[in-house]
Amino acid sequence: MKKIRAAAVSFLNAWPLTAGLETSERVELVLAEPSRCAAMLEAGEVDLALVSVAALTKGEYDIVPGMAIGADGPVQTVVLAGEQSPAIWDEVFLDTASRTSHVLAKLVLDAMGVHPKFTPSPAAEGLARAKGTKGALVIGDRGFDVHANHVLDLGREWTRLSGLPMIFALWAARPGTVSPEDVQELTRAAQHGLGIRTELAQRFAAQKGGDPEKYRRYLTQRIRYGLGPYELQGLEAFLERAAAKGFLPPMKLRFVDDVVRTKRVRRAVSLDTALQKGADGERLDADEAELLDEKAPLLELGLAADMRRRALHPGDTVTYIVSRNVNYTNVCTTACHFCAFYRPRGHKESYVLTREELTRKIDETVALGGIEILLQGGLHPDLGIEWYEDLFRWVKSKWPVINLHALSPEEIWHIARTSELPLDATIDRLVAAGLDSIPGGGAEILDDEVRRRIAPLKCSSDEWLTVMEAAHVKGLKSTGTMMFGVGEEPRHRVAHLMRLRELQDRTRGFTAFICWPFQSANTRLEPGDGSAHAYLRTNAVSRLVLDNVPNLQASWVTMGGGVAQAALHMGCNDFGQVMIEENVVSAAGTTFKMDSEEVERHIHDAGFRPARRNMKYELVGVPKA
């Protein structure tokens, strides 16, 4: 296999994206300063390069999606420095390492009403000449050691100016030279590198000197590596402002298509046989499940799923739970393309709920008969396991009977990684603090071909399943989920269901399964089929495939009450939860809400008797007539 040749910046902030490529069988890595990386890409000496954003104006390039080097506040390594205030500077010496930072410096100073002469100069020489009314731009690792009377952090100044993140560098490729497999290798390397940032900080300190903890904070708190909707918004704002001022030519971004469409050879199967097997509770294989997903008429599919529901849940009882979704923070580092909820740390709309806010929400939930708090949030870079332990103990001390249904596998994986703990130890500590069960968030589609396209910095399918299995082994129950309609194919959805079924065979830890279609408003991802027809089909197929998962929950939150009522006749035996609060789906444009009376009315009008339950699907009241 011929390796592709890649150039990358040698600065510390690039190490999490490049460390995993040092032993790659697909990528030959060359390290250089940003300006040299850009020159090599332009000259065709490399196939792709981690380059300054401004370097993209020098040719036609394909951008690798999902990954970047950026900041959502102070960046520490892109600074203007001088003896006097920038307000009186008449000349600025520009570090020649990166053209993007040149443009950013000009934009920031222009916004301050300062218009000095700009002179390219090596960093050390520029700093030495930054006397009196002269200033200097310093880029990269040299910024750690800048000491001057006046230091202007350009990451912070850009965020103040625009309210958006700043993107400094991207992986860019010459058109047609990088395959989807190559993009996947870059993604794999990034996932690896982000997991060893503490080790990288220690390695850098050993080589260069300095405090490894300072470098760790820099890599985990200062630098962002996702390229999601908000990062793209910041990037586009930067390019538009730069073009409007004449600092850069107008530029349109173009991304590599990183979906590998390899097809499994399927055997011929009978549609009628597959439907009957599913209705009878016989185990379907992947070929049969894919055929049902693709070809089965909705009515026949729904009838088969309804037969399974009736066999598993005789009678006319449909359950629901009174709980509340509480999103303790919207700060997240993964920048998923499908998410309209997350905000970068430092964004004006970012938050971490206070104890006072949590008290109000939980007290209101209890007053409404709630018995559970579904506690989830983003992957906040500053919250370690001690923060979660303290929170859980506090919740349990004030509301001991509340079931703490908290932290998706993605969050638990993140906590273990950022707290430098083994997964088992992380789960043990969370359980000791009060964790009762785990929601199935973050599964999306458990097929890495899809995950790499919609959320390249998220944990892998294997990692998600590993967390679930570790939790199940320790006695924790959880739900399984699937968000579909993100451009996946039937084979991806079936692969997802098969992986859940395989885990359930081993652990019996899933109490229920819930699926829903992707909600696309306010996101950057093109929607797939999120119609009621697509939802009911996917729901029915799930009931037939997941023969070992006892309960299926209707997703009225995304589909509305009428479609959820239909789902009760196509495989579902549960109406989900009373929606006292919901933030994530509503951020993407869906705002269905119901109280207990409304939930019970929908269940009754669909021909069933409503009954309240707990997370383990044990009834907590007598079914109502």
CA proximity to 376, closest of 325, 335, 334, 331: 325
The tokens for 170 are 């991207």
Residue 553: what are its φ and ψ, rounded to 5°?
Answer: -105, 130
What gap in Å lies between CA 331 and CA 341, rounded to an integer? 9
Q: 283: which 2 tokens? A: 């185990």
What single-letter DSSP state applies at residue 619? B
The token pair that represents 211 in the structure block: 């405090």
**DSSP state for residue 255 in the 8-state scheme:** B
Residue 336 marked ligand-binding: yes
Are 603 and 318 a contacting pair, CB within 8 Å?
Answer: yes
Partners of 79 in beta bridges: 138, 153
Q: Of all helices (H) and strands (E), which one includes residue 501?
A: helix 490-507
Residue 234 DSSP one-character state: H
Pairing status of strand 510-517 against strand 477-484: parallel
CA dihedral 386, 392, 394, 399 (to 10 degrees): 180
Q: Say what angle helices 298-312 and 271-280 make with each other, to 10 degrees.
A: 20
Residue type, 145: D
**In the numeric block, which tokens belong to residue 463?**
């990692």
Q: What do you get for the CA distance between the two ends of the chain, in Å?
A: 68
CA distance 142 to 96: 13
For residue 391 the two structure tokens come to 């929170």
CA separation for the pair 464, 445 (Å, rounded): 11
- The one-letter amino acid at 385: I
Give the angle subtended at the CA of 99 by the CAs of 93 and 105, to the nearest 5°: 55
CA distances from 418 to 182, 204, 213, 415 (A): 27, 18, 13, 5
d(Cα 473, Cα 55) in Å, to the nearest integer? 51
Report residue 22 as tokens: 């040092």
Two tokens, residue 269: 């199967």
CB-based contact 430:385 (threshold 8 Å): yes
Q: Which residues contact 45 (CB under 8 A, 6 or more apart)?
A: 5, 7
- Strands 150-153 vs 78-82: parallel, antiparallel or unpaired: antiparallel
Dist CA 524 CA 28 (whole Å): 32
**Other C-beta atoms within 10 Å of 600: how many?**
21
501/494 Cα distance (integer angstroms): 10
The answer to whether 290 and 266 have CB atoms below 8 angstroms apart is yes
Cα 429 to the chain's mean position, in Å? 24
List residues forming the annotated binding site: 332, 336, 339
List residues forming the annotated binding site for [4Fe-4S] cluster: 332, 336, 339
